[in-house]
Structure 1
């Protein structure tokens, strides 16, 4: 019995099939099948019941899974305690929402590289809806998204919120939100859902929302006079300072965006857990920097 056999057994058990396990482990299906067959031969018992839609654990398989999970957790603790950080050479598949990508992501990548110099980082920027699916499909290791993600296998670390502000074109001094388009996050997002409900309750069916997957495009749409926007305050400050757009107050404010550093916690990977904690630390430091008043030159 080897650690690779047990690791392969756990992936097949978790994902319910040889093909999915092979994709997750980046090895061939025959290699996965061979490891399982060898493990069953060593133990002298069948671990899976094969069916048309996948595999399920036998009674002996359930017993082995309990032991294998304890062994896997112990291996992760050993790696975390014994392996020097500068010797870690794994690949971290990171998924990030655009709000974070345009703010503290560079600082996070730099801190990761400083902590794990040999770590390879692959970054995907996408909407939170897609990032969640990719995480649960195990095609991403760590996601920074509008969370939390509710799943028994997932761990969420809370991050400081992003405030949202109202923005208008410079030549639209008093926007009528019953007819003026409101530009905001994509339609599969929490801000879009909350805004839709709020606008309909306050202004009726004539209110319009123009969703966008690109925050940069959203700000440009406001600047060009297409409509007003509910967009991140931290990203709008520069355009306000450049007098390309202006803030305004319609009498109510949107709920701040809640983000989490989210990763698969079962099985737990200590490297990914450490990366999530680093993300949390960098986000907190960035938020504190935003709260610190900038000194005015005498």
Structure 2
């Protein structure tokens, strides 16, 4: 029996320092002080009779024994969480979910997902990062995010990538701008008017640029924006036609503030995935990914 020699708090401190890269950051996420984290790891090393990590000027470096025991420490914490799940006491899980999403999800079904997650895990805080898919993926790759809800294709091979949903693009405009031509407007005519869309380096805008180049069409009327919400408002105000995910303007289309404009070209649909590294993250992250899939399916475009 190990009795009280090895505690979950000591293992949490060990894993926390490794994941966050410092004692200070680990203390912040675990809701304690840096001296407490240091004390827990020192006690763990003393009880085990091994050195787990070297402390170097604000950073940590695992020993070979530390690397081997890190895997087991994660498994113990994962099993402790599974124990609470079996006891139907997920409310006792105290942690934080570092979540990265794109603006499309933030503007559609994110709130419904967070409500569902908090109902089941009320003691797990959520740290939210909203940004471009490429930025989110980099943070996932470097361990700064636990769960990424992002589009493919991917630059990094990271654990699981569960399909969420596919979102089509649409050309939309204010009713007065679309006029009688909402039924069909060729791209040659569309690009002669102001066009509102994503930032320059997104997949859709790259495809739009290639299409225009192939057809020798002008692109000087394209207005790029890093804010999809701003594009929607400008479209409502009649600034120009907008190339946006149809899900983003669902409510505006239903209300008649915007109309869909048929044309002869659309970019590739957005394929979203829930991504996480199952070898590193807590058990509840995979549960959260499942909730994301269910919420995305329930959200009707």
On whether the aligned pair clears a TM of 0.5, the verdict is yes
* Aligned partner (choices 192, 206, 230) of residue 205 of structure 2: 192
* Unaligned residue ranges in structure 2 (runs of 5+): 1-5
Say whether the 8 Å CA contact 1:177–1:203 is kept in structure 2: no
* Unaligned residue ranges in structure 1 (runs of 5+): 291-298
Tell whether 2:226 aligns with 1:220: no
Question: Residue 41 of structure 1 aligns with which residue?
Answer: 46
Distance 1:256 1:137, change over 3 A: same
Question: Residue 295 of structure 1 aligns with which residue?
Answer: none
Instruction: Name the CA distance, whole Å, in 2 between partners of 1:168 and 1:250.
Output: 12
Question: Residue 270 of structure 1 aligns with which residue?
Answer: 283
Question: Residue 2 of structure 1 aligns with which residue?
Answer: 7
1:234-253 matches, within 5 Å, as 234-253=247-266
Question: Residue 127 of structure 1 aligns with which residue?
Answer: 131
* Aligned partner (choices 54, 63, 77) of residue 58 of structure 1: 63
Question: Residue 112 of structure 2 aligns with which residue?
Answer: 107
Range moving further from structure 2, 226-235 or 180-189 = 180-189
Question: Residue 229 of structure 1 aligns with which residue?
Answer: 242
Tell whether 2:34 aligns with 1:21: no
- TM-score normalized by structure 2? 0.76
Deviation of 1:164 (Å): 0.9
Partner secondary structure for residue 266 of structure 1: coil
Question: Residue 160 of structure 2 aligns with which residue?
Answer: 155
Instruction: Name the CA distance, whole Å, in 1 between partners of 2:160 and 2:272.
Output: 13
Say whether the 8 Å CA contact 1:101–1:125 is kept in structure 2: no
Instruction: Name the CA distance, whole Å, in 1 between partners of 2:126 and 2:50.
Output: 40
* Aligned partner (choices 269, 273, 296) of residue 260 of structure 1: 273
- TM-score normalized by structure 1? 0.77
Partner secondary structure for residue 270 of structure 2: coil
Instruction: Name the CA distance, whole Å, in 1 between partners of 2:130 and 2:169.
Output: 19
Range moving further from structure 2, 273-282 or 182-191 = 182-191
Say whether the 8 Å CA contact 1:127–1:213 is kept in structure 2: no
Range moving further from structure 2, 271-280 or 136-145 = 136-145
* Aligned partner (choices 154, 161, 177) of residue 171 of structure 1: 177
The CA RMSD measured in Å over matched residues stands at 3.4
Instruction: Name the CA distance, whole Å, in 2 between partners of 1:42 and 1:97.
Output: 45
Partner secondary structure for residue 162 of structure 2: strand
Instruction: Name the CA distance, whole Å, in 1 between partners of 2:57 and 2:127.
Output: 36
Deviation of 1:243 (Å): 4.6
Deviation of 1:266 (Å): 3.1
